[in-house]
Structure 1
């Protein structure tokens, strides 16, 4: 009798996995990161809204969540109030339930820590955002499973990078780094890069953006600090990038990009014609 119940329980109860994925979404000149584990979601930043009414929640984030069958967001973190990071917030909260909304004006500050499905969520900065510019008051978050970790630094500049290096030292080390401030030359200093020591770096920026992000000097600093050229990803070239971490018992990382892997039709795949991502 009990043997017959086991298959029924496995069908009714959802299976749990150590695997988790980090999706750097293609929201143009802006940032939105979707973390998924066991079909549950965490979002860091939501991209921009525009005077026309077009916004990245309706255009990108909500369709992805719907396609994956995710009916609510467990955690929504907003790094700071700039439009390219927070503009779509009202549209997102209208379109899907959010269990926990955390911004840098409340709990998304130094000292915040939470466990979410065996992942540790830790906010490393700011101490108090009113003491800093909008960019330097960005909520800096690290997500870790004990082996793999992701550092999400918002738009901080070199002065805050130095503070983080002094505060945390080797604790900053991360598998994946979202390049601060989209690859601006005011950020991504050599001491910061070398302390974080990332294996993978993603620049979340728009195609032919007016600031020229990522700056050539910034790309050079990452390369000179030991990051392989093949491990530098520019969202304007690759589209959405998905990092799949096997969990705390394996060092395996799988990487998929929208243009080269997730949408590989001959008329959309640029791999053969545009091997140089920059």
Structure 2
């Protein structure tokens, strides 16, 4: 009888442990199979599209180029997405804005953030027309603002500052929305297409505040981005480059890759690694690749 009681007591303890683990692993809305934060740098060819899931919100930063539109929509469907809480368009170049018309036709978008830069392209006019037609809340952001993504996750807007940077063919790039994703002790600097003039401005304004665990490389790893002073300030453990296979711009540039190597920064690339996924609990992080 005593042995039977001990056996039943032991089985009850095991059952309680299993039940507790099951409950802990089934957090509603949590990202990446239980991870509070998931960031996916999507493989959309020569363009940028970054999907963020927090315990409370789903967010997309940029939408890739027009040829990758179907691929972007498939990525989101595979994540079980029917609505996005926020979409951020860092600047109106086609390789960041191209998927927006298809996105607005397919998914509910609750709010849009924009750099406030304009172009005369048909794609840009189509984007604005769709936003107005659907009456989606639209906000222009500038450096110093904070975007709350819920669950303790925030986006600090580091650029663009006012007045806009002018005087070159890269003005749209240099006035991109650059953000720093922060969750506890984990941070990721999302550099959009910022080139050295934008990096220099951020260095003057933020200095050590740029320090981040991971860097999403500026301008697809081009030679005009990731200046050495900027890399020293960000001091990332990992750099993730979004670029297309055999792209016509030859991104990422060997000089940029050498800078990363010199600083012992681990590099992931969507052209060779496919979609790169980062999960974090605010203390540690994990990275996986998906071709």
For normalisation by structure 2, the TM-score amounts to: 0.77
* Aligned CA distance change for structure 1 residues 153 and 13 (closer, same or farther; 3 Å): closer
How far the C-alpha of 1:203 sits from its partner, in A, is 1.0
Alignment RMSD (CA, Å): 2.3
Distance 1:60 1:15 in 2: 24
Corresponding residue to 1:212 among 245, 250, 253: 250
Corresponding residue to 2:72 among 61, 73, 76: 61
Distance 1:131 1:170 in 2: 22
Corresponding residue to 1:29 among 46, 58, 76: 46
Residue 130 of structure 2 is matched in structure 1 by: none
Residue 268 of structure 1 is matched in structure 2 by: none
The 5 A counterparts of 1:34-49 are 34-38=51-55, 40-49=57-66
Distance 1:108 1:92 in 2: 21
- What per-residue deviation string (whole Å, max 9, x for no partner) do you get for residues 175-212 of structure 1? 11111110111111000001000111011111111121
The 5 A counterparts of 1:94-173 are 94-105=105-116, 106-117=139-150, 118-128=152-162, 130-132=164-166, 133-173=171-211
Q: From the two aligned structures, give the one with the greater helix fraction.
A: 2
How far the C-alpha of 1:138 sits from its partner, in A, is 0.4
Say whether the 8 Å CA contact 2:54–2:153 is kept in structure 1: no
How far the C-alpha of 1:13 sits from its partner, in A, is 8.5
- What per-residue deviation string (whole Å, max 9, x for no partner) do you get for residues 46-100 of structure 1? 0011xxxx442xx223222222222211111000000001111111111101111
Distance 2:176 2:56 in 1: 28
For normalisation by structure 1, the TM-score amounts to: 0.80
Residue 11 of structure 2 is matched in structure 1 by: none
Corresponding residue to 2:274 among 223, 229, 239: 239
Distance 2:274 2:53 in 1: 18
**Structure 2 portions without partners, runs of 5+:** 1-19, 117-138
Say whether the 8 Å CA contact 1:48–1:85 is kept in structure 2: yes
| Runs (4+) off by over 4 Å | 15-18
Residue 255 of structure 1 is matched in structure 2 by: 287
Distance 1:33 1:190 in 2: 25
**Structure 1 portions without partners, runs of 5+:** 1-6, 260-278
Rg larger in 1 or in 2?
2
